């Protein structure tokens, strides 16, 4: 009985904390969708299809505007999720935000996942197509270079990156639950544990160093 009472108190306290945080998520964000869109467009106007230089420009500028919250060690890892495959460079990861360069040189297609965060996909090179089923929906949504695809929290779509396509991806909301989607394909399909290991090391390192700097 005493155990059940303690458990009820803990659950109530956790729910209250989650409810409070949920209503104050905005306060924890350090990046803004408009800032990232402007920066992506600037990188394209300066470097065109030289995506390597465009990415360097983005990361250098972000490390100036957000010192201590940008990972300058450019390490790429594969990511398989929702049936799609690409690679990513994690620029920032914390409990409420992540920022990555995601893409592939050969094209891919899959399920976006249904997430506990808003997702912004700024196309740096190539084009992304998306499809949301519904009455009268027979044409793809098209996101060319320089545009942004905003997938709202809870929404799902089918997406396709045609041939070479790279994007700056920004997610804001609850990031830890998204990791299940990011990891599921490893266990059901790829069994690529070295990749899983590096992804986990970088993500945990990023989240903990940000937490240590009081960045939730």
Shortest reach from residue 44's CB to ligand NAG, in Å: 5
> Measured from the CB atom, is 33 or 146 closer to ligand NAG?
146
Cβ-Cβ contacts under 8 Å for 62 (sequence gap 6 or more): 39, 70, 91, 92, 99
- Contact flag: residue 177 with ligand NAG (CB under 6 A): no
> Measured from the CB atom, is 48 or 83 closer to ligand NAG?
48
Under 8 Å between Cβ of 146 and 44: yes
Cβ-Cβ contacts under 8 Å for 96 (sequence gap 6 or more): 25, 28, 29, 172, 173, 174, 175, 216
In this structure, the strands spanning 97-104 and 108-111 are: unpaired
Under 8 Å between Cβ of 125 and 165: yes
Q: Which of 36, 39, 43, 44 binds ligand NAG (CB under 6 A)?
A: 44
- Contact flag: residue 145 with ligand NAG (CB under 6 A): yes
Under 8 Å between Cβ of 157 and 136: no
Shortest reach from residue 145's CB to ligand NAG, in Å: 6
- Contact flag: residue 49 with ligand NAG (CB under 6 A): yes
Phi, psi of 107 (to 5 degrees): 85, 155
> Measured from the CB atom, is 81 or 101 closer to ligand NAG?
101
Site string for ligand NAG, 52-91 (x = CB under 6 A): ----------------------------------------
How far apart are alpha carbons 180 and 117 in whole angstroms?
A: 13
Under 8 Å between Cβ of 58 and 50: no
Shortest reach from residue 40's CB to ligand NAG, in Å: 12
43-51, 66-74, 129-137, 199-207 -> range binding ligand NAG (CB under 6 A): 43-51
> Measured from the CB atom, is 42 or 118 closer to ligand NAG?
42
DSSP single-letter state for residue 191? -
42-50, 110-118, 171-179, 206-214 -> range binding ligand NAG (CB under 6 A): 42-50
| Positions in the binding site for ligand NAG (CB under 6 A) | 44, 48-49, 145
């Amino acid at each position: 009985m005493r155990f059940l009472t303690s458990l009820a108190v803990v659950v109530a306290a956790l729910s209250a904390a989650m409810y409070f945080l949920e209503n104050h998520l905005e306060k924890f964000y350090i990046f803004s969708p408009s800032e990232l869109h402007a920066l992506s467009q600037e990188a394209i106007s300066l470097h065109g299809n030289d995506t390597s230089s465009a990415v360097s420009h983005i990361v250098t500028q972000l490390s100036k505007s957000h010192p201590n919250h940008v990972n300058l060690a450019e390490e790429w890892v594969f990511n398989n999720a929702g049936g799609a495959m690409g690679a990513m460079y994690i620029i920032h990861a914390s409990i409420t935000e992540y920022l990555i360069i995601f893409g592939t040189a050969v094209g891919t297609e899959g399920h976006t996942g249904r997430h506990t965060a808003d997702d912004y996909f700024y196309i740096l090179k190539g084009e992304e197509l998306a499809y949301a089923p519904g009455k009268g929906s027979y044409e793809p949504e098209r996101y060319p270079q320089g545009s942004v695809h905003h997938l709202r929290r809870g929404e799902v779509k089918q997406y396709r990156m045609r041939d070479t396509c790279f994007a700056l991806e920004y997610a804001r909301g609850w990031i830890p639950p998204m990791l299940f989607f990011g990891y599921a394909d490893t266990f059901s399909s790829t069994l690529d544990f070295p990749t899983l290991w590096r992804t986990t090391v970088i993500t945990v390192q990023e989240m903990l160093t940000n937490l240590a700097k009081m960045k939730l």
